[in-house]
């Protein structure tokens, strides 16, 4: 397929740099709304705040739904300490080591933004010696230091910061000349970019799909209920585009589309996976099959919620998932090509 790589990279950069921690996804959702409106693609907003864009196909009674989740990892203000430092609580399942010394933004309820950095409570070896090295990286030992002259709880509160305010982690997005994509939140914004480009491709080229296809942008996947509701009722096949997880003992790769045979929820639909594998083999799409024991997706969430649908899970391989992540444009493009071919298949 002829992919406009620069456009794909721009979509990827735009969505990666738009903050959307789970529970505060409105900025990314508004970006997607504007994008769909520009393409004149119809969409509905769910009560929870997700978006479902629909491209009508020849068969409307047998529909396909494809999902990617817009929500990411993040944090919230848990408490404000007497010295003006801020205790945090995490959103999503990451290691606290992965956010140590990370720049961030606090957004208050009235929309003001304040920058800061997340440190341990013993950040300096010159002060704490080996205690700084050996301190357990856990929620109670992490704190946010504001880039403001604050020395007390009252100073912080005067800024409008309060318990429950959302904290956006700096994504530090970079695409190298050699094609590597390094950023926080590639899980799952690489897949969001794939879906946005797929919609663009079908509209621009006036592609008539064999089945009505819904593109579901969910917003609570990181906390387990992204696709638990609102799946269009005629959906027969549900494809979750998320990520593969390369690493020790795994078969996944940053350069291929990864097809999940089984995750923590059990096996995915065998016939569905066979179809995806056939599309890869027939069209020279690089792929890897893998099993993820500590993983769940929107598709597995939908099954747990009781939806009677066939499910599959694909995605580019994302190294160091739930940390500062890395993938390659090859893997994203392979995922996109499989998505485009699947949507056009009968």
Q: Give the other-Cβ count within 10 Å of 131's Cβ.
A: 12
- Structure-token match 């066979």, residue found: 274
Q: Residue 168 in 3-state DSSP?
A: strand
Side by side, the strands of the sheet bearing 174-175 are: 174-175, 180-183, 325-328
Q: Phi-psi region for residue 121, left (φ > 0), alpha (ψ -120 to 50) or beta?
A: alpha
Whether residue 221 lies in the annotated active site = yes
What is the DSSP track for 221-270? GGGT-TTSS---TTEEEEEEE--B--STT----TTSEEEEEEETTEEPPH
Q: What angle do CA 211, 1, 62 make, to 5 degrees?
A: 10
Best CA proximity match to 302, nearest among 211, 213, 239, 214: 239
- Catalytic-role residue among 102, 107, 143, 221: 221
Cβ atoms 217, 50 nearer than 8 A:
yes
> CA torsion sign, 132 to 136 to 139 to 141?
negative
Alpha carbons 16 and 151: distance in angstroms, whole number: 34
Distance CA 103, CA 335 (A): 31
Cα 172–174–179 angle (5° rounding)? 150
- Using only C-alpha atoms, the chain has a radius of gyration, in whole angstroms, of 21
Whether 204 contacts 214, CB under 8 Å = no
Contacts of 346 (CB under 8 A, 6+ apart): 210
Partner residues linked to 316 by β-bridges: 257
Which residues are identified as catalytic? 221
């Amino acid at each position: 397929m002829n992919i406009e790589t620069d456009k794909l990279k721009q979509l990827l950069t735009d969505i990666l740099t738009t903050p959307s921690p789970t529970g505060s996804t409105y900025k990314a959702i508004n970006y997607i709304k504007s994008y769909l409106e520009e393409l004149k693609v119809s969409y509905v907003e769910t009560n929870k705040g997700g978006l479902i864009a629909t491209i009508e196909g020849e068969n409307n009674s047998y529909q396909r739904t494809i999902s990617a989740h817009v929500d990411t990892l993040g944090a919230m203000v848990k408490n404000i300490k007497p010295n003006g430092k801020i205790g945090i609580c995490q959103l999503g399942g990451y290691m606290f080591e992965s956010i140590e010394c990370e720049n961030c933004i606090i957004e208050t309820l009235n929309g003001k933004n304040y920058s800061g950095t997340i440190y341990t409570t013993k950040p300096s070896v010159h002060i704490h010696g080996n205690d700084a090295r050996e301190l357990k990286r856990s929620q109670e030992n992490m704190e946010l230091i504001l880039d403001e002259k604050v020395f007390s709880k009252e100073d912080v509160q005067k800024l409008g910061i309060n318990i429950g305010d959302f904290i956006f982690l700096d994504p530090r997005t970079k695409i190298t000349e050699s094609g590597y994509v390094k950023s926080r939140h590639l899980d799952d914004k690489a897949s969001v970019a794939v879906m946005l480009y797929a919609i663009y491709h079908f509209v621009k080229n006036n592609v008539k799909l064999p089945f009505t296809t819904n593109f579901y942008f969910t917003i609570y996947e990181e906390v387990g209920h992204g696709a638990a509701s609102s799946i269009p009722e005629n959906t027969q096949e549900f494809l979750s585009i998320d990520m593969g997880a390369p690493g020790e003992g795994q078969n996944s790769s940053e350069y291929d589309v990864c097809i999940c045979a089984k995750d923590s929820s059990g096996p995915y639909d065998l016939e569905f996976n066979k179809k995806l594998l056939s599309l890869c083999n027939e069209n020279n799409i690089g792929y890897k099959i893998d099993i993820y024991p500590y993983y769940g997706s929107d598709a597995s969430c939908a099954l747990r919620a009781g939806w009677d649908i066939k499910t599959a899970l694909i995605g580019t391989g994302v190294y160091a998932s739930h940390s500062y992540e890395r993938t390659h444009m090859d893997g994203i493009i392979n995922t996109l090509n499989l998505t485009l071919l699947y949507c056009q298949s009968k």
